[in-house]
Chain A
Amino acid sequence: MDLSFLAIQALNGLSSASSLFITACGLTLVFGVTRIVNFAHGSLYMIGAYTAATLVPRLLELQFGPLTFWAGILLSALIVGLIGVLIEVLLLRRIYGAPELFQLLATFGIVLVVQDLTILIFGPEDILGPRAPGLRAPVEILGRRFPSYELVLIAAGPVVLGLVWFLLRKTRFGVLVRAATQDREMIAALGINQALLFTGTLFLGAFLAGLGGALQIPRVSAHAGMDLSIIAEAFVVTVVGGMGSVPGAFLAALIIGQLQAFGILIFPKSTLVVVFLLMAVVLAIRPNGFFGRPEVIGGTHAVGIASRKRSVLTPFLWVAVMGALISLPLIGDAYVLKVTTEILIFALFAFSLQLLIGVSGVVSFGHAAFFGLGAYGAALSLKWFALPMEAALPAGLLLAALGALIIGAFVVRLSGIYLAMMTLAAAQIIYAVAFQWVEVTGGDNGIVGVWPSAWASGPVFYYLFTLAVTSIAVFLIMRIIDAPFGYALRAARDSEPRSEAIGLGVRRHRWIAFTISGAAAGLAGGLYAFSRGSVDPTLLGIPTSVDALTMLLIGGIQTITGPLVGAGVLHVLRDLIMPLTSLWRLLLGLSIIAIVLIFPRGIVGSIRAWREDAA
Chain B
Amino acid sequence: MTKASMTRWLALGLSLALLSPAAQAQQASIKLGELNSYARQAAFTVPYRSGWQMALDEINAKGGVLGRKLEIVSRDDGGTTSDATRVADELVTREGAVLLFGSFLSNVGVAMADYANQKKIVYIAAEPLTDAITMAQGNRYTFRIRPNNSMQVGMLMEQAKASGVKRWAIVAPNYEFGQSAAGAFKRLLKEQIPDAEIVAEQYPALGKIEAGATVSALEQAKPEGIFNVLFGPDLTQFVREGNTRGLFEKKTVLSLLTGEPEWLLPLKDEVPEGWTVTGYPWDEIKDPKHKAFIDAYRAKFNDTPRLGSLLGYMVVYMIRDTIERAGSTDTEALIKAMEDAKFDTVIGPVTMRGLDNQATMGAWVGKLVLKGANGGMTDWSYKDGTSFMPSEAEVKAARKD
Contact = CB atoms under 8 A, between A and B. Distances in A.
Interface of A: 1, 5, 8-9, 12-13, 15-16, 115-116, 119, 124-128, 138, 144-147, 150, 218-221, 223-226, 229, 260-261, 264-265, 268-269, 271-272, 310-311, 313-314, 317-318, 320-321, 324-325, 328, 331-336, 338-340, 342-343, 438, 443-446, 448-449, 451, 532-534, 536, 538-539, 543, 559-562, 564-565, 568-569, 572, 575, 578-579, 582, 584-585, 603-604, 607-608, 611
B233 A333 contact: no
15 contacts: A9-B216, A16-B212, A125-B262, A126-B232, A128-B268, A219-B241, A220-B237, A224-B40, A260-B213, A310-B1, A311-B2, A318-B6, A532-B85, A536-B81, A572-B16
Nearest to A605: B5
Interface of A is mostly: helix
A332 B9 contact: no
B16 A444 contact: no
B292 interface: no
Contacts of B9: 321, 561, 564-565, 568
Nearest to B267: A128
Nearest to A436: B174
Given A124-B46, A538-B81, A338 B89 contact: yes
B38 interface: yes
A221 B42 contact: no
B107 A126 contact: no
Size category of the B interface is 35 or more
Contacts of A317: 1, 3, 6
A221 B82 contact: no
Given A145-B246, A325-B13, A607-B4, A272 B208 contact: yes
Contact of B210 (A12, A314, A543): A12
Interface string B71-90: 00001100011100111011
B176 interface: yes
B217 A328 contact: no
A607 B245 contact: no
Given A147-B244, A608-B5, 4 more contacts: A16-B212, A128-B266, A561-B9, A572-B16
B39 interface: yes
A268 B179 CA distance: 13
A533 B204 CA distance: 30
B246 A221 contact: no
A336 B14 CA distance: 11
Interface stretch (B110-118, B152-160, B387-395): B110-118
B17 A336 contact: yes
A561 B267 contact: no
A147 B215 CA distance: 12
Contacts of A448: 110-111, 114, 137
A338 B269 CA distance: 51
B39 A561 contact: no
Contacts, number: 241
Interface in B8-53: 8-10, 12-17, 19-21, 38-40, 42-43, 45-46
B302 interface: no
Given A264-B213, A579-B90, A607 B16 contact: no
Contacts of A332: 16-17, 20
A317 B4 CA distance: 11
A391 to B, nearest CB: 22
Nearest to A146: B245
**Top-3 shortest CB links A-B:** A124-B42, A317-B6, A12-B212
B111 A572 contact: no
Contact of B12 (A438, A534, A568): A568
Contacts of B241: 147, 219
Contacts of B204: 264, 271
B76 A578 contact: yes
Contact of B39 (A125, A150, A219, A582): A582
A145 B240 CA distance: 13
Contact of A138 (B4, B76, B246): B246
Contact of A565 (B8, B85, B89): B8
A229 B17 contact: no
A335 B207 CA distance: 34
B114 A340 contact: no
A264 B202 contact: yes
B175 interface: yes
B380 to A, nearest CB: 23
Interface in B336-355: none
Contacts of A579: 75, 90
B8 A333 contact: no
A395 to B, nearest CB: 21
Which one of B20, B81, B204 has the highest number of Cβ atoms from chain A below 10 Å of its Cβ?
B81
Interface string B197-232: 000011111011011111011011000000000001
Highest count of chain A CB atoms <10 Å: which of B21, B42, B75, B87: B42
Given A443-B179, A538-B80, A147 B212 contact: yes
Interface in B235-272: 236-237, 240-241, 244-246, 262, 265-268, 270
B111 A534 contact: yes
A225 B40 contact: yes
